[in-house]
Amino acid sequence: MNTNRRISNLLRTEDWLSVWIGAIVIILGAVAVLTGWFDFSALSFKTWTAGETLAAADAAKVVPLGEQLGTWAFWWKCIKTVLILGVLFGAGVKLQGEKLRNFIPAFLALFVIAVIVRMVSAEFTLKRYLEWAFWALIIGLLIANTVGVPKWLKPAIRTEFFIKTGLVIFGFSILFSNIAKFGLYGLGIAWGVTPVVIIFMWWFGNRILKIKNKPLLMTVAAATSVCGTSAAIATGAASGAKKEDLSVAISISIIFTIIMMVFEPMIIEWTGMGQIMGGALIGGTVDSTGAVVLAGSALGPEAEQVASLVKMIQNILIGFIAFFVAIFFARKIDKTGKSEVKAVEIWDRFPKFILGFMAASIIASIIFVPAFGAEKTSAVNKVLGQFKDWCFVLAFTSIGLDTNFKQIAKSMQGGKVLWLYIVGQTFNIILTFAVVWLLLSGKVFPQPDIKTFTHKEDKINAKKEAKAVKAEEQQPAVDLMPQAEPVQDNENK
């Protein structure tokens, strides 16, 4: 019976379904690029302007919006993208036991909003200053806090499902050698800081703020120190938190995730911290895994990888934290004196999409690159990156649509929970920065060399350019030789 339940979980739980959907996208993308049988690229907008006067170099990269929308190729890619995503996520929803007739119209509407987000964020000035994730949040928030989200749209609002799938796809672009190189650094940052932050927030909430709702206190502490929503759900279940408590913890986490995702990369860039240190700081302090990847990408490719690696290593703690929280609450808080929690709880609460992320990285690094080369791998990642971005834009639009400020304000409970988060997150940032500086500044330990497929592609192109320059430099010398010989002959004569 237990074996049947395990097999059923492989096809019915969101975590595992995100792995299978991500794997399907990776396989289709790889086959398309390697064989050339079909075009698997997704819809994307080229830069356009709303009438700005641009320099010649910038103007050359601009394609008028009307010109983009007026081509059959654009609309075919739009149809193809929504069909691929709709079929895959629709199948996932169906396998989870929900009705497709509710999901399909809702998903189509969500996709239309996401297309508007991508179109707006491709405008030259808007694109220059803020990433599309910000516009996804803003548009979603505007809808949720003005006209409101209709009930028929809610079946498509599946933030975690979209983020997990996008991260599995993203794993194919991460060199496994980076995971190996960065493993100990990531463990030091993620596992060294996280337990300290939880203990500090528990002490601060109990002794200073005197919060009586212990499950809420623990849930907020876990959401702050680990990864927001996922940690809140797992820890809330382990501590016996009510639905209202979980809603408060997630709402606060979402608000500050939005703020930190936008402003933390700006501050890091302003301080000149560097991509590796900046990416590690983002990975250790921004709550949502998807927001970590996007905030890291704002700094650069190395920061994106480092941020995601730190957050992935941190996410591994979810199962262990939920396990020990369940024991702690059963024995100390609820005072039952015993706990029926079993070690298998760690596996049950472990975020399975991390396995998909790791598997994609290993396959790309150990099998795909040696077999097909870095250039082909980069070409595959270019296609996969489009689908990763669509998963994330759907996720962040969903976050915006699912955030109602009036409801959040009502659930703040006099401001104590808000102060708990602010003080806890401030402590988290300070401690994480200290550990990041210790491990990654290069002053104490050697800084790891993080490479990307982009680096390899750049090196290949640089070699080609160097050969071309060398050939050009040598060519004039060859041309001049015939002219020099007759002069010598005349002088001899």
Q: What is the DSSP string of 254-275?
A: HHHHHHHHHHHHHHHHHHT--H
Q: Residue 467 domain-assigned?
A: no
Which residues, in sequence order, are bridge partners of residue 48?
123
> Which parts of 122-158 fold into alpha helices (H)?
124-129, 132-145
Counting every residue written for the chain, the total comes to: 493
Q: Looking at the domain assignment, is residue 466 inside a domain?
A: no
Please tell me the least confidently modeled range out of 1-10, 352-361, 382-391: 1-10
Closest CA to 185 of 321, 85, 279: 279
- Is the separation of the CB atoms in 151 and 337 below 8 Å? no
Establish if 57 belongs to a structural domain.
no
Specify if 425 maps to a domain: yes
Total of domains in the chain: 1
| pLDDT of amino acid 435 | 92
Confidence tier at 328 by pLDDT (50, 70, 90): confident
Q: 54: helix, coil or strand?
A: coil
Q: Which of 119, 149, 139, 131 is nearest to 47 (CA)?
A: 119
The Cα 267–Cα 437 span in angstroms is 16
With cut-offs at 50, 70 and 90, classify the pLDDT of residue 230.
Answer: low
* Residue 351: strand, helix, or coil: coil
Q: Which range of residues forms the domain containing residue 365?
A: 2-50+63-457
CB 181 within 8 A of CB 304: no
Task: Give which of 356, 284, 282, 339 is closest to 317, Cα–Cα.
Answer: 284
Structure tokens at 91: 């199948």
Residue 463 placed within a domain: no
Token code pair at residue 57: 């170099």
Residues above pLDDT 70, as percent of the chain: 81
Q: How much is the mean pLDDT over the chain?
A: 81
Q: Is 242 helix (H, G, I), strand (E, B) or coil?
A: coil
Reported confidence tier of residue 192, pLDDT bands at 50, 70, 90: confident
CA distances from residue 388 to 66, 382, 490 in whole angstroms, order as listed: 26, 10, 71
Please work out, in degrees rounded to the nearest 5, the angle formed at the alpha carbon of residue 51 by the alpha carbons of 50 and 56.
Answer: 115
Are 308 and 450 a contacting pair, CB within 8 Å?
Answer: no
The residue with greater pLDDT, 198 or 449, is 198
Pick the residue with more confidence: 71 or 470? Answer: 71
Q: Is residue 490 part of a domain?
A: no
The reply to whether the predicted model has a pTM over 0.75 is: no
Closest C-alpha among 73, 65, 70 to residue 45:
65
Question: For residue 106, is pLDDT > 90?
Answer: yes
Q: Is residue 470 part of a domain?
A: no
Q: Is the pLDDT of residue 425 over 90?
A: yes
Helix axes 289-299, 275-285, angle to 10 degrees: 160
Name, of 168-172, 226-230, 343-347, the range with top average pLDDT: 168-172
Would you say 232 and 250 are in contact if contact means Cβ atoms under 8 Å apart? yes
Q: For the ranges 214-228, 302-316, 450-464, which has the lowest average pLDDT?
A: 450-464
Helical residues (DSSP H) of 272-415, grouped into ranges: 275-285, 289-299, 301-315, 317-328, 344-349, 353-362, 369-401, 405-410
Compute the average pLDDT of residues 249-276: 85
Q: Region 122-127: what's the mean pLDDT?
A: 85
pLDDT band at 104; cut points 50, 70, 90: very high
Q: CA distances (Å), 451 to each of 187, 193, 225, 279, in order?
A: 19, 26, 28, 14
Q: Could you tell me what percent of the chain has a pLDDT over 90?
A: 33
